[in-house]
Structure formats: C-alpha cells, structure tokens
Amino acid sequence: MKRTIAHLADGRELIYFDRRDDADHDVADPRDLPARPLASELRHDPLMDEWVAVARHRQTRTHLPSAQECPLCPGHPGSEIPSPYEVAVFENRFPSFSFNTGAYEQVGGLSEVRPGTGRCEVVCFTSDHDASFSSLGDEQAALVVEAWADRTAELSALPGVEQVFCFENRGAEIGITLPHPHGQIYAYPYVTPRTRQMLETAARHRGGNLFADVLAAERKGPRVVAANEHWTAFVPAAARYPFEVHLYPHRRVPDIPALSAEERAAFAPLYIDVLRRLDGLFGVVMPYVAAWHQAPVTYRRDLAYLHLQLFTIRRAADKLKYLAGSESAMGAFVNDVLPEEAARMLREVVTD
C-alpha cells in the first residue's frame, strides 16, 4: 500500500491510499476556502454524566448535492479531492471535533463546558459515485480496511484522544448528507457512553472475556448468518434493530491495527457478502449504520474485543423502524423481528 499525504487549500490534511507504488497525486487544491471553523464546545450533562458536543457550524454543511457537484468525486472545481483516487481520507470541513480551539464561556448551572477537541475524518471508499461498499471488489475493500487501520493508529496517538470510531452511514433514511460511498472516523476526547457501558459490563462478567464468550455461544447457534476461517457474522440474541448483524474476528484483538494480514484479507469478502444479503432481503437498497467497536486508547483495553455492528432501520420492504418514544426517550428498545427469523432470512438470500 502506498500512502500519500497532501493538504487542502485551508490546511486540512488529505491522505491517498493506493495499491500501486507509482500512483501520483501531485495536484493542488485550487479553491479559495474560508477559514476553518472553531472546534465545537462540549457540555456535560449532569443527569446522565455524558458529554454533548455543540457544533453550530455544522448547520451549514453540504446537504445532498447533485452528482455533478459532489465534493467526494475527484477533480472538479468544488471537490475536496483534487486528484483521482482509489481510497482517500481527509479532515472533515465541518467537524464535530477539532483542535482549532478558541475561547469558551461557562453557561452556568451544573453543566461544565470545555473545548470539543479531537478530529473528524471522511473516508472515501471509491471515486465511483454510484458504487457502494457492497459493490467493491475484495482488493478495494481490503484497501479500505488498511486505511481504517492506518487512521486508527494515527488518531489514537493524538493528544487528548480517548477513543477512535470508524463508521458508515448509508441511505437517506439514516440521514446522510452525501450519497457518495464514504464513511467517517471520529477521534473523541472522551470514552463514549455505549463503549463505557459495554466495558463496565465486561468487567462484571464472571468467567472468560465477555465478548469472547458471546462469540463462542453464537458460533454454535441458529443466528449465524455467514462465517469463514477468521470471522463469524451473526444476529445477536437481543438484537435491537429489525436486521442487525455483528461481525467478530475469531481471535480477540483490541482494534483494527491489531488484525493480522490474514484476518484483514478475510474480513472483506465476508462483510461484502453480509451487505449483499442485507440488500437482497427486500430487493431495495437498504439503509444502514456500520459501526466498528474498538478499544479506547487507554480505558479498559484489557477487556475490549474488536467487532463491527451493522444494523438497518428497515423492517419490511415498505416499513421503517422509527426510534420513537420508548427507544429515544427511555433507551428501551422494542424489536419487531425475531432475531432467529432475521438470521434465517439473511441466510436464504442468494448473493451470486
């Protein structure tokens, strides 16, 4: 893999990832861009003991442009990526977290305020505007995995970063603002609530590693969707979403950089197979969130187990699962689809 670092007109970093050693990206960004926005502010919720990022500048971010104006398609005047590319990663122009900090005033009450330091990056899976992750070839998908590994290692080393989160939002139903196939990476200045809860639960577990024990139990059961030598994809017994699949490596590692070359290569075809099964359920392009759960930089790394959680809010060809009162207000999920039935339906999809 060749890695080429460039910079955009406003100073943001752009990184090209190529399979070819002779790839050339010596193309400057010709735009006249405004100054980069100040970092968000973090406000502490004293009732939930959680941090909330307030990023006012994101109200003006690009929203569903035409294909001709897509900022992730290379080479045109409004593009964020001036050179043709295989995989490209750049600092988000409208970040939820950044190191461009300013003065922050306390807001009174019991809420502490501090700068939303960190970093947000956009990961472009391909220059093909009409593609999707599920349409990538195995080698292209493996290059994305290499980019995730590279960025996880680099971002984890930044001062103040506590957790690195690689993810993809797909589909208008999920709320995407750019349809071009891409994901994002957030480098948080704190450990996120869901990760903290999972690791605290793992600390209370009696026996072996909680995540390893879950995987061992699921590998023997009726909810397996697909598997290979290094990975198993299964619907969790207590799935929150109508169709939810977790992908675990068989060897416990804390994060993507810790995967072996063989494990990285084996992930791509299995993940693509699962995505194609998801799309094949109802014959429609499925909206989904794909979320890598990696160990925090320092907090309870000894308990963590790298895995990917994939879920969709579509529960039928013409029905969505909305997170309404119980889920949004109380955090109490109600699933409309039996997990065993969801696994059976996914297994029965023909992907060839």
For residue 127, what are its two tokens? 């220059």
213 three-state secondary structure: helix
129 is in an annotated binding site: yes
Q: What is the pLDDT of residue 108?
A: 84
How far is residue 331 from each of residues 45, 321, 328, measured CA to CA in Å? Answer: 16, 15, 6
Residues 6 or more apart from 209 whose CB is under 8 A from it? Answer: 202, 252, 303, 305
Residue 124 annotated as lining a ligand binding site: no
The confidence score (pLDDT) of residue 352 equals 75
Concatenated DSSP letters for 110-163?
T--EEE--SEEEEEE--S-TT--GGGS-HHHHHHHHHHHHHHHHHHHTSTT--E
Task: Provide the pLDDT for residue 103.
Answer: 81
Tokens of 16: 């090209």
pLDDT tops 90 at residue 351: no
Q: Tell me the average pLDDT across 1-17.
A: 97
C-alpha dihedral, 186 to 191 to 297 to 231, nearest 10° = -70
Residue type (1 letter), 51: W
Q: What is the pLDDT of residues 71-119, one digit of tens each?
A: 999 989 999 999 999 999 999 999 999 999 988 888 888 999 999 999 9
Write down the pTM of the prediction: 0.97
Q: Measured between alpha carbons, how far is 335 from 69 in angstroms, rounded to an integer?
A: 39
What pLDDT is stored for residue 199 in this prediction?
Answer: 98
**Helix (H/G/I), strand (E/B), else coil: 319:** strand
Q: Which of 117, 126, 101, 98 has the alpha carbon at shortest distance from 12?
A: 98
Domains parsed from the chain with CATH numbers: 2-192 (3.30.428.10), 194-348 (3.30.428.10)
Choose among 81, 80, 82, 100: nearest CA to 36: 100
70 among annotated binding-site residues: yes
- Mean pLDDT for 155-175 is 97
User: 230: annotated binding-site residue?
Assistant: no
Residue 307 is among the residues annotated as catalytic for this protein: no
User: What is the helix, strand, coil percentage profile of the chain, to 5?
Assistant: 25, 25, 50
User: What pLDDT, on the 0 to 100 scale, is given for residue 217?
Assistant: 97
Output the CA–CA distances (angstroms, integers) from residue 34 to 17, 31, 57, 94, in the order listed. Answer: 27, 10, 12, 12
Q: What is the pLDDT of residues 281-317, one digit of tens each?
A: 999 999 999 999 999 999 999 999 999 999 999 999 9
Q: Per the residue annotation, which of 57, 63, 76, 182 is the catalytic one? A: 182
